[in-house]
Every structure is written in structure tokens, then in C-alpha cells.
Structure 1
Amino acid sequence: MKKLLGENRRNALLNLLRKANGPLKGTELAKHTNVSRQVIVNDMNLLKARNEPILATSQGYIYIQQDDSIQTFERKIVCLHTPQQAEDEMITLVDCGVTLKNVIVEHPVYGEITASIMVSNRFDVANFIEHIKETNASLLSDLTDGTHLHVISATSIEQLDHAEQKLREKGYLIEG
């Protein structure tokens, strides 16, 4: 396979991401374009700098397709739980029809650190948790003794309210 260069490669990457039915890993994209994974990382950063709606998740890169016909609502929530309860928190949210978009922690040196999660169903949650285990990575909330924020989204306010109520019942929600 011929190595794709510069702008041609970035256009090919955009086309692959737009057509994909799910996340694409950097290694997959590297094989398809016959370059290294690091070149893909650089390309994704260049594309994001051009305001392409690309999201890097633990499952791979996603091109965010905006469907303006579907109204979505977002809310920022504050949670506290142990690392062992993270999977239950995520399942609780997705079972309410909510997408868990990210996690945010306040770091004493770096300030606010935000990481994309983008899980919408139990399959996504299982993949996320498996990836954490495989890589032996720590959760960002480990930096703050379990306190963290999430941006959650849904197609109705009622779904967001229901998700908050379920987290409240489990003792995961911090309220002011």
C-alpha cells in the first residue's frame, strides 16, 4: 500500500471517520494510511485545530456528526465515589438513556483537567472499563480522592433528572 502524504492523508482520515459506525483506533487508521500511529496523533491534532469535530476517546477517534433535528440537553454534575464504584456509576447513567460525555477534575497544579469518555450504553461502558483494566490506568478521580464532575447529555430533561435521582439514591451525587 502506498503511503498517503500530508493533506491527502488528513482528507482520507476525515472520510474514514465520517463513514465509521463507531470509534476508530489510531493503529487502525495508521495501517489504512501506511504511516505510524504518532503521525495519526499529529494529524488528529491538526484536524482538531481546524475545528473538525473529532473526539479522542479511550475506544478510538470519533467524528461527531451533528444532527440538528434531534434536540439534546446537557448538564454538569458533581460526583464522589470509589474507583470500584465507577462502573456502577457509568451503568446507572447509561441505563437512564444518558450519554456520559466526559470527566473533569480540579488538579492543584494544572487546574481543570477534562477527559472525554463518550459512553452511551452498557457495551461502551464495558469497553471503557476493560481498557482501564488492560492498561492498568488510574481514573482521573483518583487525583481528587473520588470527587469529579461529568457533563451528561440526553434527549430530554426528564432523562437527566432521572439519572441524577438514581445517582442520588446510590450516594454518588454531591449537591450544594
Structure 2
Amino acid sequence: MDRTEKFTSAKRQALILDSLKAEHRPITGSEFAQKANVSRQVIVQDVSILKAKNEPIIATSQGYMYIQETPNEAAHKLIIACKHHPDQTENELNIIVDHGVLVKDVTVEHPVYGDLTASLMVSNRSEVQNFIKKIQDTNAAYLSTLTEGIHMHTIEADTKEKIEAACEDLKKADILL
């Protein structure tokens, strides 16, 4: 195929699905755009179409992921409530991931819109650092600024002891509600 030839919509969507299912890492819209010789905005539209077709694609701060929910009895999940200032976000996330715990998302309760949830999918300090850098580079606000620092996280680990240890350290840091 000629490198300057653009992919059709169907071919781009197949590329997105196949790549996301094969890779168990986030893939950015820019990566897809480069492969398909289109703009990142075209990829964003393709992903929206795929989501409308009930494909379980989520956008994380690191890129798109295909969420294959398989029953994992070894995984332990907990929703925790936290409160802190924005400048404590990196410390909060590091406390959690340092215990081998995945931070799946953040949720705030908006007075008009109800629950607003954003996917985080951070599991190590490098991913936390990338998330914080994106917030800073884009001058974006944390969702928790809408609720005076109150927010929830869905966290997951392979043992409940890891979750309990992370929660204990969050209590010590005066972050856990």
C-alpha cells in the first residue's frame, strides 16, 4: 500500500480494534493517526463510532485501551473516598501504586451532572508521573476541583492486603475520608 494513501473508515476502525485487542497497553490517537495517514481528530471520531457500537474502549491519560472484562476472582476491587488539595494528587496516586494497586478511575459527584467518572488506569510511578505531566502541560483542572477536593477512586489489586495497606497509608497521609 502507498504510504500516502489514507485508510477508509472501516479499515481504520478495524486497525484500532485489532491493535487495542492485541496490545495490553494504551495506544495514543497520534499513533493510530500516523499508521492510517489521517489526523488525530479523525481517529477520535472513529473511536467515538466504535464506542457507539458498544466496543469497550476507554480513553486514559496514556491513550486508548480495550477493556476486556473477564471474571478475575483473584482481583480485589474497592471504591475509596478521598479528599485533598490538587498539589497532593501525585502523592496520593504514588501511595496507592507503591502498594501494587491499580487506580482505575476517579469519580466526583457533580450537583448538576451527577457522577462524573474519568479513567486513569495508573499502576506505577511512571504512569502517575505521565498523568501529572499531562495535567500540567495542558493546564487542565483535576475533577476534584469541582468538589472541593472530594473524589472517589476505584482501585484494584490481586490481594486485599495490598488494598488494605494502601488505604492505611492514605489514612496516615490524611487523604482517605
TM-score, normalising length: structure 2: 0.91
Partner residue, 2:16: 13
The offset of 1:11, in angstroms, is 0.6
2:112 partner SS: coil
The offset of 1:96, in angstroms, is 0.9
Partner residue, 2:120: 117
Distance 2:166 2:72 in 1: 23
Residues 1:130 and 2:133 are matched in the alignment: yes
Please give the per-residue CA displacement for 1:64-114, whole angstroms capped at 9, x wherever unaligned.
355656721111010001111100000000001110011001112211100
Distance 1:116 1:38 in 2: 20
Moved more, 37-46 or 150-159: 37-46
Residues 1:166 and 2:169 are matched in the alignment: yes
The offset of 1:173, in angstroms, is 0.6
The offset of 1:50, in angstroms, is 2.7
Partner residue, 1:91: 94
Partner residue, 2:143: 140
2:114 aligned partner, one-letter code: G
Please give the per-residue CA displacement for 1:31-79, whole angstroms capped at 9, x wherever unaligned.
1112222221121122223332322011111123556567211110100
Please give the per-residue CA displacement for 1:13-47, whole angstroms capped at 9, x wherever unaligned.
11222333522111221111122222211211222
Partner residue, 2:28: 25
Among the aligned pairs, what percent are the same residue?
A: 47
Equivalences, count? 174
Distance 1:65 1:102 in 2: 16
Residues 1:64 and 2:67 are matched in the alignment: yes
Distance 1:145 1:97 in 2: 28
Match runs of 1:33-52 below 5 Å: 33-52=36-55
Question: Is this contact kept in 1: 2:21–2:66, CA < 8 A?
Answer: yes
Gaps of 5+ in 1: none
1:35 partner SS: coil
Moved more, 52-61 or 148-157: 52-61
After superposition, the CA RMSD in angstroms is 1.6
Q: Runs in 1 of length 4+ with deviation above 6 angstroms?
A: none
Gaps of 5+ in 2: none
Structure-2 change in CA distance of 1:37 and 1:73 (3 Å):
same
Distance 1:69 1:119 in 2: 19
